[in-house]
Amino acid sequence: MEASKNQELDPNKPTDNKNGHKSSPPTRILPAAHPGKRDEVSEAVYGHSMTIIPSEAMISKLMSEEDHQVGPADLIDFPLKAGFVPDSESTKETAICCEYLNAISVFIRQKVNSQYLVQFFDTEKKVPIGHPTGTKCRPDISALKVPENQSNVDLEKFHWSHLQATGETLSSGKTEAEGLRQGAAYGGYHLQARPDLISVPGIFVKGDRFEIYNHNACQSYHTGQVEWDSFEARRLLYAWMKRIYRPHHDTTIRIDDRLETTLPTFTIDGKYQNYSILRVGAPIGRRTIVLSNPESNTVIKEQYVENGRRFEEGPIVTTIHQDGQFPGIVRIKEFESVKSGENEIVIEHGSIKRTKRRLVMEDKADLLMAVKTPRDVLMALYDVLEVTRVLWRKHKILHRDISPNNILVREKAQHLEESMRDDLGDMCFSEFLLKHQTTSTPITPSEMKRNPLRYATKVVLIDFDMAEDQTPMPTKTGDPKIRTGTPLWMARLLRANGYSKAEVISRPIPQLGDSDQVYRRFLFERLETFPSNELEVLFVKPGKLPSSFRHKLRYDAESVFWSMVWWCIQARPNGDNKGSKIKLNHWMRLTSAEDDRNSLINDFPTKSLHPEYQELETLLYNMAALLRGDYDFSQDNLRRQDEYLHEAFQRLIYQFLVDNHDQKFMNQEKDPLPREVERSIVMSNYPCSPSTQPSSSNVGSSHHSNKRKNGSESGEGGSSGSARKKPRTETGGSHRPHISSSLSSHVISPT
């Protein structure tokens, strides 16, 4: 592509390309947030996703369709806060507020004729348990349903999934804006723990005033400050409490167990029973929640998908498997827009509309970051390259969001011989190649082609909700953006929205050494298609991406590389509690909001890995050398072929596996916890990203674990001799890498 032909895009407005797709400017690269750390979430997520609305608009949002608007007659005998005063100077504001809210609750209970009572508790020093992110944060106010025959609630063991509402009182030492964001973060945690609720209410208290929240996947709405006991306040609190008793819920999901001290399970569509939350995404955006049953391989994913902004995942995956099972791709049993009653569940904010979608998937496995050894992770990533290149060749479908969160790895390779499609061509996975590297048994060409074991892989590629079908006549289910992905792992060109000036030497395609014979036996055509070539100097001219730009297969290959770096840099040997830390400058270059990954590409080997895994730097160095410059500017037809980078990467990985098959480090299991960063990190320098937190909160992970230790919130609330509480601080213990919980709404192109 000639740089002179590039048509510069206005970075401040979307442009239609010739294919009819939108190229939107990148959203703000937000600071990273550990999903379990309230202060980070409140800044990274709710610093940009809160909207103040008038009290009347809030009342309209809170009132259900069958309710009338709140009038003076409704407020006869409504409790007044003036009647609730501290018993002594040491009585906390939170306790007084809970007493008042409990009085309102009794009043509203009579209005709605509820069989249970909602009680508000001062939980400033109590930690709700069982949150899918592992957070240890503590809402100041927690609302729980209390059955008539239950006299008390064990506040040492209550679960996030049983909360009806949350609240925050302003701490001394915090600004009002910080307190509001903190209260919004509690609402986000509440949403993540309640797939059955479409929106959740909350409250923020500041002395003689308060604000009401209503949180959903689009925004966290809040009123301005309202004085207690005013007519406006009583109308607001009436509507708010009524919404707590009559939640805005998805009628297709119900909580199976209402005991506050029991981890709840959910029944979905009346037939999927005893499902618990496995993984959650960011509460703002798609609000992904994945549920599973330990006794079943079925996994259910729910999302609020923005209307008309992407191909839909269900139809895309159905297309992939329509002529038989495609190895390495998640299988979907059902997909639907969720209806509550007769209507689809739709939420909106401004011009944005999101519809709740549900996918029932057949595959469950562990995330890439749970893979224990270098051998297994390299084999998995080789197979991801194999899946994506053959998928492109057969269907012209690109995943466009390759990341450690979207790669699952089974314990054993699986092949689907009976239902598998018969046009997979030369598809061949790593386990088969490596097995025959040490096998001398002769195999005829016909035996090679029909041997089903060549299609066996441990990999399951998931989350095709950013995928694009680039066939001339695709099944049109949306208008996907041309630039999308998750910042930490997406191709640098896409994230930058343009070419960076460069004059670099492009290496020739790798040649196989000892592994050539086996590769030639099974993949002869690839060696013919990609013969040796020469060094080339690439002159990359700066400029915005052209209007004709579309995602390319090689960008998915680059995402595989960054996924490999992510695993390698965080790996430390099992049991090594005092080993080497990640150097701060390496970590910052990998994760900075300004995207300094080009410097890493140019500086390999960086000696950034744990000494026990240092040999992997050789492979990373050779792969990084193939990412310098951009092949759009190559004069070599070979380099411009779609599968060139995939082929080059696979040769390097395969050769490395062969060369090091008997080396100790290849089987050295890594510790479940990542390496520490050498010192505290300024969070504002981080881009937001999805994450691998404990496997219990990841898509398709088959294990439940709560080993993450740096998501706790420490510091005691309360005060002595004051109604104001002391500020609570959060500590993360060791400075472990922040790999935030699939904050999947934080992508370059908003989703």
Task: Kindly report, residue by residue over 192-234, the tens digit of the pLDDT.
Answer: 999 999 999 999 999 999 999 999 999 999 999 999 999 999 9
Average pLDDT over residues 65-88: 83
pLDDT band at 442 (very low <50, low <70, confident <90, very high): low
Is residue 498 over pLDDT 90?
no
pLDDT band at 153 (very low <50, low <70, confident <90, very high): confident
Contact 303, 354 (CB under 8 A): no
Average pLDDT over residues 703-713: 35
pLDDT band at 573 (very low <50, low <70, confident <90, very high): very high
* Average per-residue pLDDT for the chain: 81
Q: Which residue has the tokens 């562990």?
A: 366
**Backbone angles phi and psi of 7, in degrees to 5:** -100, 115
pLDDT at site 450: 59
Express each pLDDT in 626-674 by its tens digit: 999 889 899 999 999 999 999 999 999 999 999 999 999 999 999 998 9
Distance CA 589, CA 604 (A): 12
Is residue 695 over pLDDT 50?
no
The pTM (predicted TM-score) of the whole model is 0.79
pLDDT at site 398: 94
Three-state DSSP state, 206: strand
Q: Which pair of structure tokens corresponds to residue 510?
A: 């790798």
Side chain identity at 559, as an amino acid letter?
S
Q: What is the DSSP string of 311-371?
A: --HHHHHHHHHTTSBPTTB--EEEEEE-EETTEE-EEEETTEEEEEEEEEE----EEGGG-
pLDDT band at 22 (very low <50, low <70, confident <90, very high): very low
The CB-based long-range contact list for 472-479 (8 Å cut-off, 24+ gap) reads: 474/311, 475/311, 475/315, 475/319, 477/311, 477/312, 477/315, 477/316, 478/308, 478/309, 478/310, 478/311, 478/312, 479/20, 479/21, 479/22, 479/308, 479/309, 479/310
Choose between 454 and 698: higher pLDDT. Answer: 454
Is residue 13 over pLDDT 50?
no
Closest CA to 210 of 167, 163, 166: 167
% of the chain at pLDDT higher than 70: 78
Is residue 266 over pLDDT 90?
yes
Q: Which residue has the tokens 């029909």?
A: 450
10 Å CB burial of residue 437 (0-12, 13-18, 19+) is: middle
For the chain, the maximum distance between any two Cα atoms, rounded to a whole number of angstroms, is: 90
Choose between 65 and 588: higher pLDDT. Answer: 588
Distance CA 630, CA 633 (A): 6
Beta bridge partners of 357: 303, 337
Contact 406, 399 (CB under 8 A): yes
Q: Which pair of structure tokens corresponds to residue 362?
A: 């057949």
Distance CA 382, CA 371 (A): 14
Is residue 250 over pLDDT 80?
yes
Q: Which pair of structure tokens corresponds to residue 709?
A: 């230790």
Is residue 625 over pLDDT 70?
yes
Is residue 65 over pLDDT 90?
no
Express each pLDDT in 458-487 by its tens digit: 999 998 988 988 887 665 555 556 667 788
pLDDT at site 262: 66
Closest CA to 300 of 195, 217, 408: 195
Is residue 430 over pLDDT 80?
yes
pLDDT at site 697: 32
Q: Which residue has the tokens 């441990």?
A: 458
Give the DSSP letter of residue 420.
Answer: B
Handedness of CA 610, 614, 616, 622 (dihedral sign): positive
Contact 175, 183 (CB under 8 A): no
C-beta neighbour count of 351 within 10 angstroms? 5
Distance CA 553, CA 555 (A): 5
Q: Which residue has the tokens 């239950």?
A: 150
